[in-house]
Structure 1
Amino acid sequence: MKTSRLLSAFPAAALVGCLGAGLIAAAPASAAPTPATLPAETTAAASPAAAAAAAPAPGATTDASRFTLAVLPDTQFYSRYSADQFIPRYGQDPFQVQTDWLAKNADALQIPFVTHLGDVVDRVGVNNEWIAADNAMKNLDEAKLPYSILAGNHDVRDSNDNLYDDQYDLANEPFLKWFGPNRAQNVSTFQGSDPTGFNQFHIFEADGQQYMVLALSWRASDATLAWAADVMAQHPTVPVILTTHQVINIEPDGETPRETDYGLRLWDKLIKNHDQIFLTLNGHFHGSSRLDKTNDFGHTVTSVVIDYQMAYEGGDGYLGLYEFDLTNDVINVQTASPWVTWKPQETLTSYDQPLLEGSQQQFSLPIDFSERFKGFNPTFAAGPADTPSLGQKARDILLDGFVGPDPITTEFPGSPADYPEVPGTLAHWQFNGLDGVVGTDVTIPDVAGDGSNDLHRADPAATNSVGTELSDVTIESDNVHGYSADQAGACFTNSSGSRYSYLTTDKDAPVNNADLSKGYTIETFVKMSPEWTPAANGWSKFLTHTGNRSKIDGFAKTQWDWTASPTALGISNLREFQWTTVPGDPTKGDRTNWSGEIMVDSWSHVAVVNDAQKGTITMYVDGAPVLRNAVDAAGVSANPDMPWIIGSDWVDDAARNGWNGCVGETRIIDHATGPADWLTSRADLTGFAVTDAPSGTLAAGSRVTTLSGTGLPGAEVRIDGGVTDAQPMTARAESNARVLALDAATVVAEDGTWSYSFPTPLTGSGSYSYEAVQALGTRASDPVTVAFAIAAAPVDPTPTPAPTPGTPGDPSATPAPVPGSDAPGGAVPIGGSAGSDGDLADTGAAPAGGLIAASLILMLGSALLLSQRRRRVSADS
């Protein structure tokens, strides 16, 4: 089935607001592009090392008294996916690479100590995860590089907030078996543990001074805090760095610190009244931030949170390097990834940056060490100023020989049609052209079909929704994902578990029963509202194939979602994208993919790709594959005749859990595809050719009427140019094929051919030059140049008597038609056929340098230009 849709080209105002597009891995999910952040065309750096090396490390000046404290944030996903994801693909996991790099560079970077901030593993009861963690930490043991390690909430059997460490069944805790006091006593800096064995303290020496690392595990009890206070009392002159899994959190903006109840407990009961504690380090909360507070002694205590487990590849190997510069009274902090620089270059994506340089990732903490510590250690002083910048040294080591990912060139979408059409597309919903409130009478078109898969809004009165109003769903076109050609989306507001709205296919829509046994690609653009909360919006869905999986014959019963829809894409209470589906063989149970943490009020492109032959389901967020993907799955199972919906979940045979945010264009394809075919890529305009055009010098009296060629179906053909040498005004007037004179219907036909007729046939003598392009709105192909000349009529030396009025030769008389003058093909000399000097141009004339700038400006400014693109659906769809 086929249909055509007339699409307006982007006006100039819209061009200002749209973004470059292509392979969207050019920006992380947490920094999804917004319409004001990128220029019209952006190329990701071929080597991030070049940019990183250009920026010196903080404090990279003269020699000073320096050392480096290394910080390992949450490693849980490295341990969890070591055996089945990382090692099969790379040979090592990021945890192993981190500790190996620290061990090998401890002397060069003067690292006296390494701290681990907890969540060593993800699933406390899975032995293989502890084995992976053990293998990684052995690198430090074998290098005799001292370290501390503590338990996070994932490392204890019961992390309930109502329990404390002295209430655990200590004999049944794996952490104590793998990283308890028996192992710690082999570390040279280890000074002792509390009675539970979960908490430990170390004293290391650097530049002639001692420092304590006080490592408190998850949910330190009052007894543990008393033990910690006693430890400090026994070492009253030693500055203390408190490490634990939770102190401060991070606000949704990803930068601002937020205090926690447990962190305030530690502050009130331990930190504020012990002046020795000058720095706290914690993980647990995803991202990085810091907070300064004043203790009871009038001194600053800085708390830092660092945790990248929800980033690409479970953290992408990022760790903290804290350079203590005692001479210049500053701690210079860098966030670096030995894993990124270790991985093979061909595996890198633009997410793989060796150094993170955001305001919470590279910074300096001013601290007058002797002044800050004199209340308990009046003799504290810096060591000899004989060490160059260790931060710069770390950068040099990381970037030595590093070649970043291959460059990615991105472009603006030129129009709503500027995306790759893919055979096997079952449905493709776009929102451009709609405005305001989406009522029940509004149709969201399936631009790939004949209307049978169009969406419409479900009548709230016919659902169980509570309090829903029509105004809850509106169209947004001002702040949309720049990589979407559609440049529009539907926004759902006031949503909760009981209040919801959704867009739905009809019950008899073909896509409801589509065959996906050969795999699928499902992609969409989505964002959460700034008002999104876990309590009201956790576990909501934005794209759902409705039904009841418990009613599918043979479906293996699962603990969760037993009566939910067979297939859905949504968000967890931790702001992770979740793809859940029942595969083609329902006896295998459901399959689930998970992303890292997604920021609110930020657009993301999500693609879920099922390769049926390999049995894999891979979720991509902004072009990057997530870490937690599914295997042993091909196709999907479904309940017959059940609609696809956008905007809510479907459980217990009814809608629920409305999506609090926006959803952009969405497409379903019946096979696996790659990034080049996704909606974030652009349509291919490179195949444009002029196959039928004059060339050379045509005989005097020739008439040029048309140009023709081949191109992308639906693209607009634009011609610009004219006479290039001095000619009488009448001759130049004949060459009026300017942009403003174009016929709006001059588009490439569905068979890939096009023909352009000059408004006035070209007959005057002189040289002519035209540039032809095909375009989708504001984006055009490289121009193809057509150049030719028409010879001047020979001059008769015999004087011609003045004609008698009304006789041949009288300018007022109408010339007799010349046989063959209107023959197709472009140019025919009067009185005969074209000679060898008037042959038509060869197919695909050579491209010229670039479009005439003035013509592009005219094109952008013309609100009348329309482009038409044919939509196709493959025969088997």
Structure 2
Amino acid sequence: MASPSRRQSSLSSRVRRTVAAATLGALGLTAAVAATAVPASAAPAPAAGDLGSRFTLAVLPDTQFYSRYSADQFTPRYGTDPFAVQTDWLTKNADALQIPFVTHLGDVVDQVHRDVEWQAADRAIQTLDDAKLPYSILAGNHDVRNSNDNLYDDQYNLANEPFLKWFGAGRAAGVSTFEGSDPTGFNQFHIFEADGQQYLVLALSWRASDATLAWANQVLKDHPTLPAILTTHQVINIAADGETPLETDYGLRLWDKLIRSNDQIFLTLNGHFHGASRLTKTNDFGHAVTEVVIDYQMAYEGGDGYLGLYEFDLTNDRINVQTASPWVKFKPQDALTRYDQLFQEGPQQQFSIPIDFSERFKGFAPDFAAGPADTPSLAQKARSILEDGFTGPDPISTEFPGATADFPEVDGTLAHWRFNGVKGTVGTETVIEDVAGDNDLHRADPAATNSVGTTLEDVTVASGDVHGYSSDGSAACFANSSGSRYSYLTTAADAPVNDADLSKGFTIETFVKMDASWDAAANGWSKFLVHTGNRSRIDGFAQTPWDYTASPTALGISNLREFQWTGVPQDPTKGDRTAWSGEIMPGAWSHVAIVGEEDGTLTMYVDGAPVLRNTSDALGLAANPHMPWIIGADWVDDAARNGWNGCVGETRIIDHATGPDEWLTARADLTGLTLTGAPTGQLPAGSTVAALSGTGLPGATVTVRPAGAAAAAVAATDVDAARAAVAVAETTALAADASATAVVGDDGKWTARFAQPLTAGSYDLAVAQSLGTRSADPARVTFSIAAAPGEVPPGETPPGQTPPGQTPPGGEVPGGQVPGGDAPGGDESGTDDPATADPAASAQDELASTGSDLVLPAILALLALVAGGAGVILARRRRSA
């Protein structure tokens, strides 16, 4: 069972997302940060000591980079590669974890024509062969000679396909569970047994033809009583928030032609799309089918060895899923970084799928039953095996932004372009503001370029579809782009950033997305961020066989959909320096950071993880004098060309190397709130407190509330308790009038004034700093003011009167009133007029009505938004007026 602290953390996360969705929607900000993940089962997982009928299905997602870099990077550094460590760990722990079968989801290698990659994959899979641990393996798009989406497996030149040479039916025949292959040899099926029951695994390679799907349907028809798991390389995709599932055209083809009409298929597993998600659909029989995507190739070290462990718990009717890395456990302690974590702990990496196995399968397997309940939790066992003796670093973590201003400002920022002030078509007069300096962007007039067919409507600023960790909320999108048709945004010729000194290092980061229509022939080698010029005219530049007349600095995409950085360092005699990512998916947002260190090391990070192909001896950046920076196109031979087909979000250039804590994916620091001159102890009778003041983050909202409201809400673990606790605290707050808000000024100072000065009484106040929906833990201010003789402090009942909420002696309520002083059918003031209603109380009611668990940051933030009204600052500016 999850610990209370973990459960409370999960509740906090859900509340942050719920409040963010409501608040951001009201403010017209991006919905990406509030996207809802597929919910995990609410039922508790069994404790480690509980016995049940259990086994573990192991899942190997895309291993392409392990194979590609085995010989030249992994083996020289570690003596082996992650793929080999994965299979070795599975064989050594197959008995302990009761693993009857291992599935591979495709992209076995990265470059289909390179034997050295197939050799690395062969060594890893041979470990399973030697241990006689059954497995299935299939071809992904990187494992076939031509991965064109419109080309199917029965159209390949089978004699020329390396996958069939290395992992065809001949090798599969040696696996004990192998039952057959289709005529192409690319597709196979297996039957494994676990706890006395048999399961069928269909392994379909890249782009199954109609003939292959007919074969798969026949396999199911020939084995009508077996529950079936479909493994293939592509079914579902992942949305920009990194969690929400997206259906694909090919996945729907599989659904319509295979999955929906075969009740036996209850689970599908696919890779291909970076990250993890899941989707539950209902088939033609009214039964659930769970579709799962898992692929970590863009994580640290090409995936950092993460694999899936699916514990089938037949006794408790659930599949418990973990994402774990034997590779992290294998690496030497001194080689570990903050990216190295044994487990991925997100809601799409650790979850349970509720499934009543006997009920789900009774339509085709009425005799299906769980085996003996004699096995402790295998999920807990896996954790124990990996955690034994392991001491790892703290993980990198972040939160979704609470407002458009929720990003860290960094000294040394040269330019920071944001799009949230612009809507619709970007004309030549439109200004894209540099919020850090004097480097505003404008659109180049298409009529003044060599672009063919460009219209003003080709460039628009859209909101709502951005990277989940970008606080900007908007992006510029470039449509109808190709080699000859392009548009771009440019700095002015005299913009300071054009000639900035980057000799001590730099950080260049942006958010970018290829359009779903991206095509290698039309859009390959396009660029989205370029410092224009001609590198051949830089004195001393070492001539290269390619890109000799290209710009000194460019960031774009290759024809293989790899991010490419090319830059001429401060010493141009070294030639250009490059860094490369792995394959990037169209339609998906990525955060890209290029960090040049003062020692000359240059690293590309994609969504926070360093790529494998980086460079060194690359200090600084050379440039042609006074040449602009542009967004949206390449610049070669002294002219723009090759437009970006997709969108670009906020972009920032800094004059030194920075780390993840300072990137645009991080959040503003709300922990620096201070109070100056706050009262303490007991103040003498007659004293008043009119305000609290202090310092904080410019633009943040400071909220002062009675601490009872905060503590009660945090302690509450269900909605009703939280609603009641906050209601009681709100009544106290109104009686004491001890609430106030303020906005931190540009000088970092704030003063929160109470509606009426506080007089005699005891006060325990919580003072919190927030940006929109995100708040820091509150500071506490505790003091009292002595009462003068005969004075009744606010909130106390005068002698002889009945306290609010109590019935007088004898049970009578005078004057038709209700206990507590409420008029029948009205609010506390005895009126239904909404104009006189308390806005903070209304906000609390709205929050309680969402049905989410309440936590302090969400309460304080939403109350601050309502009480502060227009005073909430949604954009922080560092540039001078």
- The normalised TM-score by structure 1 is 0.62
Deviations 1:602-637 (A, max 9, x none): 784x431235755x4201345542334345755556
Change (3 A) 1:595 1:200: closer
Given candidates 123, 135, 139, the residue that maps to 1:135 is 123
Distance in 1, Cα, partners of 2:653 & 2:91: 48
What is the one-letter code of the residue matched to 2:489?
Y
- The partner residue of 2:565 within 554, 570, 579 is 579
Deviation of 1:364 after TM superposition, in Å, equals 0.9
Is it true that 1:352 corresponds to 2:341 in the alignment? yes
Question: Distance in 2 between the 1:495 and 1:197 partners?
Answer: 41
> 2: CA distance between counterparts of 1:267 and 1:474?
35
1:137-176 matches, cutoff 5 A = 137-176=125-164
Deviation at 1:284, TM superposition (A): 2.2
* In structure 2, C-alpha distance between the alignment counterparts of 1:417 and 1:212, rounded to whole Å: 49
Between stretches 406-415 and 160-169, larger displacement belongs to: 406-415
Alignment of 1:421 onto 2:378: no
* C-alpha distance 723-320 of structure 1, shift in aligned 2 (>3 A): closer
Judged with a 3 Å threshold, the aligned counterparts in structure 2 of structure 1 residues 565 and 36 are, in CA distance, closer, same or farther, namely: farther
Asked if 1:643 is matched to 2:628, the reply is yes
**2:596–2:602 CA contact under 8 A, matched in 1:** yes
Aligned-pair CA distance for 1:417: 12
Aligned partner of residue 90 in structure 2, secondary structure: helix
State the distance in 1 between where 2:871 and 2:121 align.
63
**What aligned pairs does 1:504-515 form with structure 2 within 5 A after superposition?**
504-506=491-493, 512=498
Could you tell me how far apart the structure 2 residues matched to 1:236 and 1:479 are? 44
In structure 2, C-alpha distance between the alignment counterparts of 1:292 and 1:482, rounded to whole Å: 23
2:518 equivalent in structure 1: 534
1:403-552 correspondence to structure 2 within 5 Å: 403-406=391-394, 419-422=409-412, 427-429=414-416, 440=429, 458=444, 462-463=448-449, 491-493=475-477, 495-497=479-481, 498=485, 500-506=487-493, 512=498, 520-526=505-511, 534=518, 541-548=527-534
- Note if contact 1:72-1:116 (Cα within 8 Å) is conserved in structure 2: yes
Pairwise CA distance, 1:250: 4.3
Shift of 1:396: 3.1
Picking from 640, 660, 684, the partner of 1:654 is 640
* In 1: Cα distance, 2:593 partner to 2:75 partner: 25
Aligned partner letter, 2:166 = W
> Which of 610, 617, 624 is equivalent to 1:625?
610
Q: 2:387 aligns with which of 375, 396, 399?
A: 399
Alignment of 1:310-389 (within 5 A): 310-344=298-332, 347-349=336-338, 352=341, 354-359=343-348, 362-369=351-358, 372=361, 375=364, 377-389=365-377
1:6 counterpart residue number: none
Q: Is the 8 A contact 1:63 1:388 kept in 2?
A: yes
Farther-moved stretch of structure 1 (591-600 vs 173-182): 591-600
CA RMSD of aligned residues (A): 5.7
Q: 160, 169, 178: which is aligned to 2:166?
A: 178
Label 1:719 to 1:85 Cα distance change in 2 as closer, same or farther (>3 A): same
Give the Cα–Cα distance (whole angstroms) in 2 for the partners of residues 409 and 171 of structure 1: 48
Larger-Rg structure: 1
3-state SS of 1:124 partner:
coil
SS in 1 for 2:119: helix
- Structure 1 residues 34 and 314, CA, compared in 2 at 3 Å: closer, same or farther? farther
Give the structure-2-normalised TM-score: 0.61
SS at match of 1:386: coil
What is the alpha-carbon distance in structure 2 between the residues aligned to residue 365 and residue 587 of structure 1?
Answer: 59
The alpha-carbon deviation at position 384 of structure 1 amounts to 1.5
% identical equivalent positions: 59
SS in 2 for 1:150: coil
Matched, 1:610 2:601: no
Supply the AA of the counterpart residue of 2:628.
P
Mapped contact 1:34–1:482 kept (Cα < 8 A): no
- Kindly state the Cα deviation for residue 127 of structure 1 after the two structures are TM-superposed: 2.2
- 1:357-382 per-residue CA deviation (whole Å, 9 max, x = no partner) reads 4157523141433762553x554433
Secondary structure of the equivalent of 1:64? Answer: coil
Question: Amino acid of the residue matched to residue 131 of structure 1?
Answer: Q
Q: Distance in 2 between matches of 1:320 and 1:303?
A: 14
SS in 2 for 1:383: coil
CA contact (8 A) 2:678 2:693 kept: no
The letter of the residue matching 2:145 is R
Q: What SS does the aligned partner of 2:635 have? A: strand
Give structure 1 stretches of 5+ with no counterpart.
Answer: 1-25, 38-51, 689-715, 745-774, 782-848, 872-877
Q: Residues 73 and 59 of structure 1: is their aligned pair in 2 closer, same or farther, counting only changes over 3 Å?
A: farther
User: For the structure 1 residues 374 and 569, does the alpha-carbon distance in structure 2 shift closer, same or farther, using more than 3 Å as the test?
Assistant: same
Which residue of 2 is the match for residue 594 of structure 1?
A: 581
In the TM superposition, residue 107 of structure 1 has moved relative to its aligned partner by: 1.0
Count of residue pairs the alignment pairs up: 677
DSSP 3-state at the match of 2:505: strand
Distance 2:609 2:435 in 1: 27
Q: Does structure 2 conserve the Cα–Cα contact (< 8 Å) formed by 1:290 and 1:360? A: no
TM superposition shift of 1:285: 3.0
Aligned: 1:666 with 2:664: no
Give distance in 2, aligned partners of 1:740 and 1:293: 53
Q: CA deviation at 1:85?
A: 3.6
- Secondary structure of the residue aligned to 1:79 is helix
Give the equivalent residue in structure 2 for 1:94: 82
Contact 2:476 2:647 survives alignment (8 Å): yes
Greater RCO, CA 8 A, separation 6+: 1
User: What one-letter code is carried by the residue in structure 2 that aligns with 1:287?
Assistant: G
* CA deviation vs aligned residue, 1:108-161 (integer Å, no higher than 9, x gap): 111111111111011111222222222322332333211111221211222234
Instruction: Mark the runs of 5 or more structure 2 residues left unpaired by the alignment.
Output: 1-12, 25-39, 699-743, 751-777, 784-863
CA distance in 1, matches of 2:417, 2:263: 60
CA apart distance, 1:594: 2.2
What corresponds to 1:115 in structure 2? 103
Q: Which amino acid aligns with 1:283?
A: G
Give the Å deviation of 1:233. 5.8
Structure 1 counterpart of 2:371, which letter?
G
Question: Distance in 2 between the 1:139 and 1:868 partners?
Answer: 58
Q: CA deviation at 1:643?
A: 1.8
- The amino acid across from 1:608 in the alignment is I
- Alpha-carbon distance in 2 for matches of 1:780, 1:638: 41
Following TM superposition, by how much is the alpha carbon of 1:638 offset from its aligned partner in structure 2, in angstroms? Answer: 4.7
The C-alpha deviation readout for 1:800-828, integer Å capped at 9, x for no partner, is: xxxxxxxxxxxxxxxxxxxxxxxxxxxxx
8 Å contact from structure 2 (residues 59, 103) kept in 1: yes
C-alpha contact (below 8 Å) 2:278/2:348 kept by paired residues: no
SS of structure 2 residue aligned to 1:69: strand
Write the distance in 1 (CA, Å) between the matches of 2:251 and 2:504.
48
